[in-house]
Amino acid sequence: MFASIVLPAYNEADNLNLLIPSICKNMEGIQSYEVVVVDDNSPDHTKSVVENLNAQGLPVRLIVRTKNRGFANSIREGIESSDSEYVIIMDSDGNHNPEYLPFMCMNTKFYDCIAASRFQYGGGMEEQNRQILSWLFNIFVRVVSGNYITDSLFGYLIIRRDLLNKVNFDKVFWGYGDYCIRLLFYLQKMQINILQYPARNGARVHGEGNSKFIKVFWQYFTETLKLVYRERILNGK
């Protein structure tokens, strides 16, 4: 199989009902793929939505998790439950536009990893305050880590599985969106060939996102410092 598209989810049934058909439409003409919904035992109707889409012939399957739940843990299970040449990581809330998928897939011929960035020319976010804070935070990540990726938070990427498997998952997949900072940190340390392309932040159609913006940024800030400090201690620097 060419690619597994991993969608971590919790109470995203209505968004998934729109997102998955859009993913499949944009993946038309792409080699064989699957959509893996990893649901943290949502009390909404996620299970019935996925089953209905599967019954319509869409290549989607559901994993329901009742233990060790959490955003990054769900992504890890989705990766480990699949066996494709490439892994695509997306959000389930509409934040990541499926229209970028053909471009991402086609460029796997030339790059090991293709990552969306809101801070490449042409990308961006609708909320200007969040865009400024995210931009400043990503500058901070680049400065303290010494790496070059312009958006370590967006988390919309495709990567070769054999390279992904060289990363120590125990060091990466825990917490929330901070997993992406750690993942891209280690991928850059491996010096793999990464293409960044400009992407615009999508809009959530149903439900509510995380409103504790400042608290989340503080968590990401401290986790970035811990990550860099641990690696420097381990490497004797």
**pLDDT tens, residue by residue, 108-118:** 999 999 999 99
Length of the chain, in residues: 237
Matching residue, tokens 């499949």: 24
pTM score of the predicted model: 0.93
φ and ψ at residue 209, rounded to 5 degrees: -85, -170
Q: Considering only CA atoms, which of 69, 2, 59 is closest in space to residue 34?
A: 59
Convert the pLDDT of each residue in 149-193 to its tens digit: 999 999 999 999 999 999 999 999 999 999 999 999 999 999 999
Centroid of chain to Cα 195: 15
User: Would you tell me which CATH number, out of the four given (3.50.50.60, 3.90.550.10, 3.30.70.270, 3.40.50.300), belongs to the domain 3-234?
Assistant: 3.90.550.10
CB-CB contact of 104 with 98 (8 Å): no
Angle at which helices 213-234 and 128-145 pack, to 10 degrees? 10
Which secondary structure element, helix H or strand E, spans residue 223, and what is its range? helix 213-234
